[in-house]
Amino acid sequence: MLPENEHKTASNPIIEVRHLKHGEWELYCSIRLEALQNAPYAFGSNYEREIAFTEEKWKDCAESRATGKESICVIAIDGSRGVGIAGGITPEDNPRVDQLVSMWVHEDVRGSNVAARLASQVEVWAFDRGSEGIVLGVNTGNVRATRFYEKMGFLVFDGEISHRSACEKYFHKPLAIGA
């Protein structure tokens, strides 16, 4: 029997989706750099900037996300290869609404349930922290992402978002009754 966080279908291998663990900075680095190369439009940073990070910088970034306190990193792994990543952050000025950031799924597994599993784990993290909602940004031309987030229950959002990026379209999803 497969563990709860692993799923296998005829067309998809077993892909594990889980929180980044302490000490996994090299795995975090490899997934993040591949994502930045593959989909630079989906991030508030770029490959050129992050490839220059020192080992200490990568360790610090990974450790802060592994703690799950102010931010989190959820990864998708196919064997030993990272095939997806998503992050969650808590804006300093509004700790009641978290933000889904840095979502990426390798093209080999797009169309599977990996993206939904990544986003859902960030939502659970936010809910468990007492967040009333979660927000995210999408570039206007990214129709596939827009459809995905709408299917996940996100609604177009015109309000203020602390960590605005180059995205032109924002979404919100209530996580608690009355949010």
Exposed/middle/buried for residue 65 (C-beta within 10 Å: 0-12, 13-18, 19+): buried
Contact (Cβ atoms closer than 8 angstroms) between residue 173 and residue 154 = yes
46-76 residue pLDDT tens:
999 999 999 999 999 999 999 888 899 999 9
| In the chain, domain spans | 15-174
pLDDT at 9: 43
Residues 6+ apart with CB under 8 A from 9: 112
Q: Which of 3-17, 44-58, 111-125 has the lowest mean pLDDT?
A: 3-17
Q: Is the dihedral angle over the CA atoms 152, 158, 164, 167 positive or is it negative?
A: positive
CA pair distance 4, 129, nearest whole angstrom: 22
15-174 topology per CATH: Aminopeptidase (3.40.630)
